[in-house]
Structure 1
Amino acid sequence: MKKSTAIILFLMLCLGQQLSAQQNQSKTTPASEKKVMIVYGSDECHHCTDTKKYLKENNIEFVFYDIDKNQEALKEMLFKLKKANISLNNLSIPVIDKQGVIFTNDIPFEAFLKKLN
């Protein structure tokens, strides 16, 4: 009797942990969640303001972080650039995080804008 009770309690504990893990996963990554493009730049940068204008005109959802005013965003941007093996020497902004793909404005600006679509 004690053995069967212990087995039942063990199975209930395991099942409870699986259900809890599934619930936590569904809360953090809902299937309907859409990734939004992140633009790191500065309000003082004409390429950054032109990029924001282009994204708005083309109805592309994005979040803009002004790295001059938001130090956490600057740190996040630098971390992503390092992780993507993008040199910080001669870095040009804006820096784009398009669903995990990181790129900068290091090509002719019109070609850069086409990469945003």
Structure 2
Amino acid sequence: MKAFIYSIVFILSITNVSFGQVSNSKLGSGTELKKSKKMIVYGSDTCHYCIDTKAYLKERNIDFIYYDVDVNLLKQREMLIKLQKAGVPVDNLSLPVVDLGEKLIMNGANFENFLKKLN
């Protein structure tokens, strides 16, 4: 029984690493990504603010890259490192976190003001 459970966990972990990547509008190669300086949205598909943020950006035809930090642990770590380098405390982390290249924006108390900063 233990072997069966371990094999299921192993298969699920491999599947998450292989298939749990990004959902975005037009993701190119790594060099194209660096040149284009697209907005990066770190969020979770279980977070209604993250879902609303993606919808807001798509409605306005704003190019962005979305990473689900619940699924993609490498991008979760990348987000945390960026927040720490920017001096943003991660003890009160609020998703989504948006990387605009020169600054990071995190959802705060007023979601409407957060969305206005994305334009």
TM-score normalized by structure 1?
A: 0.71
| Residue 71 to residue 29, structure 1, CA distance change in 2 (3 Å) | closer
Instruction: Give, in angstroms, the shift of residue 29 of structure 1.
Output: 7.2
Deviations 1:86-113 (A, max 9, x none): 0111210000001231110014000000
Structure 1 unaligned segments of length 5 or more: list them: 1-27
Residue of 78, 91, 94 corresponding to 2:93: 91
Moved more, 98-107 or 67-76: 98-107
Instruction: Give, in angstroms, the shift of residue 34 of structure 1.
Output: 2.1
Structure 2 unaligned segments of length 5 or more: list them: 1-29
Query: d(CA) in 2 for partners of 1:107 and 1:116?
Result: 16
Instruction: Give, in angstroms, the shift of residue 44 of structure 1.
Output: 0.2
Find the structure with the greater CA-based Rg.
1
Tell me the residue number matched to 1:46. Answer: 48
Query: d(CA) in 1 for partners of 2:63 and 2:109?
Result: 23
Amino acid at match of 2:95: I
Q: What root-mean-square deviation, in Å, do the aligned CA atoms of Structure 1 and Structure 2 show?
A: 1.6
Query: d(CA) in 2 for partners of 1:29 and 1:92?
Result: 30
Query: d(CA) in 2 for partners of 1:41 and 1:100?
Result: 19
Amino acid at match of 1:79: I
Tell me the residue number matched to 1:104. Answer: 106
Amino acid at match of 1:60: I
Residue of 68, 77, 84 corresponding to 2:70: 68
Moved over 4 A (4+): none
Amino acid at match of 2:49: H
SS at 1:63's partner residue?
A: strand
Moved more, 60-69 or 93-102: 93-102
Tell me the residue number matched to 2:115. Answer: 113
